[in-house]
Chain A
Amino acid sequence: MALPKYTEPHYRIWHYFYLFVCGCVFFFLIAPLFVIFPLSFNAEEFLVFTDGMKRLDPDAFSLRWYNDMIYGTKNPWGLAARNSFIIAIFATLGSIILGTLAALGLSSRHMPYKGLIMAILISPMIVPLIISGVAIFFFMAKVGLAATHLGIILAHIILGTPFVVITVTATLSGFDHSITRAASSLGSSPYNTFMKITLPLILPGVISGGLFAFVTSFDEVVVVLFLAGLDNTTIPIQMWTGLREQLSPTILAVATCLIVLSVLILLTAELLRRRSERLRGINR
């Protein structure tokens, strides 16, 4: 964004001010994440930068909190991580299947009451989580699924499907339906058409919706707080308890791992977005 030479001085000042403001906002957005990183390698138990760390003294850094996270006595993180992954994976699969089917139906021009049905399918995203939590808890308690993995997985499918529905519908909006008709006219069965033609084309949308569903489930704490028993504790629940009681550097070690995970997810999502843009470009 270099300014042309003829720019007047006051506009020039205004422009640099604008860049400065943008810089500050970007800093505000990203800087808090980088605080966690160095502090998780702290050799001390305090959550402040010690003098040793400021001097970059190697003795001031250690891996003891990572050690504590993995091997610590009575540490809940192993169980929590296993539960979190199991719940998130099954919730993602459920969301993908139900959400993709629904999106396929919704994008058909024959679908009756489209607006109303879309509103219902998206509603878990709009209704405040605390209300969803209360409602889902009442349901799960009634059918005896409170404090079970299945109950939490079902709850997370409820919260995750809107993302899949939205991303897949968006992908399908650029979808050329004459391709599937061509396949059918060439004798392909509906199942074959879906597997060989439709699915590969909408796959980026399905996967990115699945990523949203995975992150939603993996990071969800409000609904799980109502539903979880001692055996179904998840990483967010453990972090929540830890943050409420005492902020220990072990939490920061876990947080660092979560940031690394989100970087991986971000990269995947970006790659998918570009791929889907490229595919749509070819379609045009």
Chain B
Amino acid sequence: MSSETGKILTTDGIPLEESLKQSEKKNKIKAFLLVAPLLLFLIITYMIPIGDMFSRSIDDKMVTNMLPKTYKAMENWDGKELPPEEVFEAFYLDYKILVKNKTAGKLQTQLNYEKNGFKSVLKKLARKQKKFEDGNYKEQIMKVHKRWRNVEYWRAIKRRAPSYTYSKYLKGIDMYSNEDGKIVQVSEDRRIHRILWIRTVEVAFFVTLFCFLMAYPIAHLLATLPMKYSNLLMICVLLPFWTSLLVRTASWMILLQQQGIVNDFFVWIGLVADDNRPEMMYNKTGTYVAMTQILLPFMVLPLYSVMKTISPSLMRAGKSLGATPAVAFFKVYFPLTIPGIGAGCLLVFILAIGYYITPALVGGASGTLISNQIAYHMKSTLDWSFASAMGLMLLTGVLVIYWIYNKLVGVDNIKLG
């Protein structure tokens, strides 16, 4: 060892500090290589597609690509008066290609979103333009329909010039950008999305509340009973937890139907008349009952794991110091369970806010949530960009909650079973 130079060397003559650094680096790389396959896999198949959803949701290239010459010509047009001849010519040329390729229908639909009545004008132009002569297209187009003299229609075309739009996000909260470019609400009878958002949050909130109220006592009982009883009762929590979601939803469909057992029971105890059985399914009641039962284990398990660690002698100490059982509970026991309550509530809330299957089966029209709307646009209307926009709005909400969860509990503290 060369103590004269003041540096400690390893047996191969490298300074110890450097050698340690090297091995540290090697270990770092080793650890990272172990994580890398999963990380890469998730980034490629999951993170990037979610980013792809975002570009889809703001993508508006369709109209831009269909009218390339028009938008080029429109660059110098200020939009105050009717556009000059070259815009008309460019539009005529673009539109001719679209009609020839039989893709004009898409443009008609898209521009009709922008300005009502555009479709018929464009259809008429498609028929008449075959007889157009070269030159002076402005006159010829304006002759086809008097609306071409209205500058509003040209402004509508110009509004679709950018290849990106946030209109899908506005639509998700029942707003739109009107002809003057101002953001306004849609008419009252068409505000369906806001109702859905509010209902989703409301259902998630109340399901979380019900789960908490039901889970707290049983988690306490499970944590305080002697092992041999609590293990038995734990099965009542774990069996539903491991059972298929669809099986549990099916059993609620049987229970809640009009001739079902719950209604039979209500009739038997005389709560309702036999010919006046209430609808308990295909509405909000069904959604609440089924979701509460299905998500209850997710509340019980974190609460139980926290309560298990609280020593019973704390309560006894409180009582021996003169506290009534109620005071001892609220001053000693309850505050100690708050981490479990936070974990359980946020877990259930996050799960409930994105719930799809159960509301779709037992929710009917008044019990469906935002997820159902997303699925509807994915599968039925095929408006994928709108579905993506709504999905990302929901995701933002969930991520905010997740962030709070991480701050309060920490993701690595999630316990399963």
Contact = CB atoms under 8 A, between A and B. Distances in A.
A joins B in a complex: yes
Interface of A: 1, 11, 14, 18-19, 21-22, 25-26, 28-30, 32-33, 35-36, 39, 47-49, 98-99, 101-102, 104-106, 108, 110-112, 117-124, 126-139, 154-155, 157-158, 161, 163, 165-167, 169-170, 208, 212, 215, 218-219, 221-222, 225-226, 236, 239-240, 243-244, 247, 251-252, 255, 258-259, 262-263, 265-266, 269-270, 273
Nearest to A269: B417
Closest 8 CB pairs of A and B: A128-B354, A105-B34, A105-B35, A108-B31, A135-B49, A139-B49, A110-B27, A102-B38
Contacts of A221: 245-246, 357
A243 B236 contact: no
Contacts of B218: 22, 25-26
Given A120-B42, A255-B247, A266-B239, A105 B378 contact: no
B255 interface: yes
Interface stretch (B61-69, B156-164, B186-194, B390-398): B390-398
Given A105-B32, A131-B395, A136-B45, A239 B38 contact: no
Given A35-B261, A39-B254, A243 B35 contact: no
Interface stretch (B90-98, B167-175, B406-414): B406-414
Contact of A226 (B253, B255, B378): B378
Given A48-B260, A121-B42, A243 B245 contact: no
Given A128-B354, A163-B416, A112 B239 contact: no
A111 B217 contact: no
A1 B416 CA distance: 27
The dominant DSSP class at the A interface is: helix
Nearest to B412: A118
Contacts of B246: 219, 221, 236, 239-240, 243, 255
A131 B50 contact: yes
Contacts of B47: 120, 123
Given A111-B31, A112-B28, A219-B245, A132 B46 contact: yes
- For this complex, into which size category does the number of interface residues on chain B fall? 35 or more
B46 A158 contact: yes
Nearest to B56: A138
Contacts of B378: 134, 137, 226
Given A110-B27, A126-B402, A247-B254, A139 B35 contact: no
B45 A139 contact: yes
A124 B231 CA distance: 31
20 contacts: A1-B225, A32-B248, A33-B239, A36-B251, A101-B34, A108-B34, A110-B31, A121-B38, A122-B411, A126-B399, A126-B402, A132-B46, A134-B374, A135-B53, A139-B45, A167-B416, A219-B245, A222-B375, A244-B360, A255-B244
B30 interface: yes
A134 B387 contact: yes
B368 interface: no
B388 interface: yes
Given A128-B394, A236-B244, A135 B46 contact: yes
A32 B238 contact: no
Interface string B33-51: 1111111011101111110
A198 to B, nearest CB: 12
Looking at B27, B250, B398, B411, the one whose CB has the most chain A CB atoms below 10 A away is B250
Interface in B284-341: 293, 296-297, 325
B411 A251 contact: no
Interface string B349-393: 010011111001100000000010011001100001001100110
Contacts, number: 263
Contacts of A239: 244, 246-247, 250
Contacts of A21: 217
Nearest to B374: A130
B18 interface: no
Given A136-B49, A170-B415, A32 B252 contact: yes
A105 B33 contact: yes
A259 B247 contact: yes
A270 B37 contact: no
A154 B45 contact: yes
Contact of B224 (A1, A49, A136): A1
Contacts of B82: none
Contacts of A273: 417
Nearest to A154: B45
B254 A158 contact: no
A167 B242 CA distance: 16
Contacts of B361: 240, 243-244
B53 A28 contact: no
B34 A102 contact: yes
A222 B225 CA distance: 39
Nearest to A237: B246
A117 B36 CA distance: 10
A194 to B, nearest CB: 11
Nearest to B387: A134
Contacts of A127: 50, 354, 395, 398
A134 B244 contact: no
Contacts of B392: 131
Given A108-B30, A111-B32, A129-B356, A26 B242 contact: no
Contact of A259 (B32, B52, B243): B243
A279 to B, nearest CB: 16
Contacts of A208: 416-417
